[in-house]
Structure 1
């Protein structure tokens, strides 16, 4: 069996403020999508919760989920201070009510 390379996985769930306009949501989507341009990210995805299904363990109490995978902690740390990331926060923080982040290292 091939050993897995260690990676750092960064997952962020955003709950947006109630009553945002469709235009505000588009601005948020453009902002969060801009993060894909950061070279330190090996794998990037942004999505919304899937419709309710039969699994009661699936959490759907957020509006958008960001997934970034980095080769190591140093790449993650560079991402955190990258101008595109900082610009996204500055331009879009007005749209979210709650942000929950999960960082994990592959085993």
Structure 2
């Protein structure tokens, strides 16, 4: 049986550990996956109508079933009040996707197309802010 000296053993352990860590470090291939955020603000035609707001929220809840959506948030204007805060919208809709391609699938998905068809009569204005992770 071959005897391994302590120094050789420790060197081999260090090299093996370093290789294991290196295998988990980001590579060019896996760093191209950048989270994509799609944030939509809706201004209702009848902003004082609770029924219209609830109907839009109902539609957004159904829309959240598109399988490429990783996380969704339906929101109403917060009570914060500073000069830089926009509070004139009725409902916000924020979505997280794994990447731009997944968001593009969402845009063409039958659930999304049906949402636009069934609920677009409720809003007078929509603004979208899309962003990709740095």
TM-score normalised by L of structure 2: 0.71
**Greater RCO (CA < 8 Å, at least 6 residues apart):** 1
4+ residue runs over 4 A deviation: 2-5
Aligned-partner SS, 1:79: helix
1:100 aligns with 2:127: yes
Larger radius of gyration: 2
TM-score normalised by L of structure 1: 0.87
In 1, Cα distance between equivalents of 2:47 and 2:88 = 16
- Find the counterpart in structure 2 of residue 33 from structure 1: 61
Q: Which runs of 5+ in 1 are unaligned?
A: none
Instruction: Flag the structure with higher helix content.
Output: 2
Q: How many residue pairs align between the two structures? A: 105
1:5-45 Cα deviation digits (max 9, x unpaired): 62111000000002664333322111011121111011100
Q: CA RMSD in A?
A: 2.0
Q: Which runs of 5+ in 2 are unaligned?
A: 1-24
